[in-house]
A = this chain, B = another copy of it.
Amino acid sequence: MAWTFDEIDRRILKTLQHEGRIANNILAEKVGLSPSPCLRRVRLLEEAGIIDRYVAILNPAAMGLKLTVFSRMWLKSQDAATVNHFAREVGQLPEVVECHLMAGDCDFLLRIIIADLDAYRRFQIDHLTRIDGVQSIKTDIPMQKIKQTTEIPLP
């Protein structure tokens, strides 16, 4: 089912995607509403699942995590048991921040946040290749982050 936004909802969402902790009265002012109806709209957007959650975004570099890598992985077979086992294992590795089961090319695409190349080398040996059913891994390394946002394009 499609949700029908008006201009004010769009402004609310756009603002909250940048300032998730903004106070309701400030938000209200920004979108041109008084606080009460503004809060009501936010609650509705939350209950409808449009707003999934609020999070703090940390700066990995400030904690010494200076490297992001993309790893493409191939499994020995793609049967349900192998895939599910892999999914479960990967889900427990906090360094693996994203994991997708892919159509074509590789079986999985992972995004991994880690200190540096050496730490990644060890991580791959100690954790990724140890998972049952893993056949091979190709690592792609970003040299420069051009753009990175949690902001979703509003229709």
Q: Mark A96-127, 1 if CB is under 8 A from B, else 0.
A: 11111111111011000111000000000000
Which residues of chain B are within 8 angstroms of A106 by Cβ–Cβ distance? 140
Determine the residue in chain B with the shortest Cβ distance to A101.
B144
Report if A37 contacts B (CB, 8 A).
no
Q: Mark A36-64, 1 if CB is under 8 A from B, else 0.
A: 00000000000011111111111110111
CA distance A54 to B18 in the complex (A): 7
Report if A90 contacts B (CB, 8 A).
yes
Chain A interface size band reads 35 or more
Partner of A21 from the list B20, B87, B94 (CB cut-off 8 Å) is: B20
| Interfacial residues, chain A to chain B (CB-CB below 8 A) | 2-3, 13, 16-21, 48-60, 62-65, 68, 70, 87, 90-91, 94-106, 108-109, 113-115, 140-155
30 A-B residue pairs with CB within 8 Å: A3-B63, A19-B53, A20-B20, A20-B53, A50-B59, A50-B62, A51-B57, A54-B57, A55-B57, A55-B150, A58-B152, A68-B100, A87-B147, A90-B147, A94-B153, A96-B147, A97-B147, A97-B149, A97-B150, A98-B148, A100-B144, A101-B143, A102-B140, A103-B140, A103-B142, A104-B141, A105-B140, A109-B142, A113-B152, A113-B153
